[in-house]
Amino acid sequence: MDKFLVSIIIPVYNEAQQIRESLLKIDGLLKKSGINREFILVDDGSRDDTWRIITEANSEIPGLRAIRFSRNFGKEAALCAGLERANGDACLIIDADLQHPPELIPEMVRLWREEGFEIVEAVKASRGKESFLHKLCAVSFYRILRMFSGIDLDKASDFKLLDAKVVAAWREMGERNTFFRGMVAWVGFKSAVIPFEVGQRTHGSSKWSNLKLIKLAVNAITSFSSLPLQVVTFLGVVFFIGSIILGAQTLYMKFSGIAVSGFTTVILLQLIIGGCLMICLGIIGTYIAKIFDEVKGRPRYIVSETLNLNQEAASRSNAGVKYRTV
Ligand code: UDP
Ligand code: MG
């Protein structure tokens, strides 16, 4: 076996039917390729038997470490918990449902070890089976994100291998609401991509509700760009120019004695300006809510139980949050 250690980080939420099979498959593949690994499973407050199955798998899979959250904090928080506790020379993040093909892991490790890539990203060759509406929303979200932040994440997935250096840089980022894919794109480093076909889920269904996806999208955009706030200024300028033109026209009509009852104009203006003001207030409100969330400095998640983790590692949370000590 090679001397280097790869931490396999798996966020798990209500995957009782799937998790044991996934672990055995990934472990078998890694053994065959001679990759030295540790598993860090994060049970994101599952309501089914997931935690029991993880603790039982402990006897079959040596080097299995796990954390259980006190409730469902979301996949982003689960990834944080895993990355904060990883000891490996590299971390590999993979879903619990085998939709990320573990067969790619040896190649990802090779690119890291032999070719010196610090980030190896598996990108979706296609988006797998999705409804038309889901696909449309996803495509629009990535377009908007790219337009606002310049970060292109279309096809990106959370299936990534990160060198310990990248993980250290990631740990320096203290925000409470994290967007893993965006943060990895932001830190830079030498990266390679390998395409993969998104597999079908064999058990259960996707754990992302539409509301969760919308929250993730809003968080991603507001985390990486303050451009929406400039939209407010832009709209203000457009309406100011419009009001000068309209004002001049109104005054001209008035003084030349041909002013008609301009009800339509008034109503239209009311509606347009009212609508724009509401949208702008909403955008500002979203950012203020974000600042409020961050300033509270609450932990990103709360751990209720651990498996094979020492006390210090078990309670490690919010690494890198600087403002709390100021
Ligand atoms: N997951 C999680 N917390 C959540 C939702 C999902 O830890 O609140 C995990 C889930 O167990 C899986 C991964 O994140 O390992 C991806 O979730 P899912 O397969 O439901 O998402 P999709 O493949 O549909 O994007
Ligand atoms: Mg999935």
**pLDDT at residue 311 in the model:** 57
State both tokens at 261. 């009852």
Of the ligands numbered here, which is closest to the C-alpha atom of 75?
A: 1
Contact 104, 194 (CB under 8 A): yes
Contact 206 CB / ligand 1 (< 6 Å) = yes
Q: Which long-range contacts (CB under 8 A, 24 or more apart) does 317-320 make?
A: 317/81, 317/84, 318/174, 318/176, 319/84, 319/171, 320/171, 320/172, 320/173, 320/174
CA 320 to chain centre: 18
Question: Residue 120: phi, psi to the nearest 5?
Answer: -120, 115
Alpha-carbon distance 179 to 274, whole Å?
A: 33
Residue nearest to ligand 1 atom 23, measured at CA: 206
pLDDT in tens, 227-259: 777 777 788 788 878 878 888 888 888 788 777
State both tokens at 122. 């598996």
pLDDT in tens, 123-135: 888 766 677 888 8
262-274 in b/e burial notation, b at 16+ Cβ within 10 A?
eeeeeeeeeeeee
Contact 84, 180 (CB under 8 A): no
Mean pLDDT confidence for 197-206:
74
Mean pLDDT confidence for 20-44:
90
Q: Which of 300, 321, 4, 3 shows the shortest CA–CA distance to 161?
A: 4
How does residue 221 score in pLDDT terms, banded at 50, 70 and 90? confident
Contact 79, 13 (CB under 8 A): no
Contact 50 CB / ligand 1 (< 6 Å) = no
| Mutation probe of ligand 1 site: the residue of 75, 206, 214 with most atoms within 8 A of C-beta | 75
pLDDT in tens, 284-302: 888 888 888 788 878 888 8
Contact 158, 78 (CB under 8 A): no
Contact 287 CB / ligand 1 (< 6 Å) = no
Q: Which of 301, 312, 309 shows the shortest CA–CA distance to 41?
A: 309
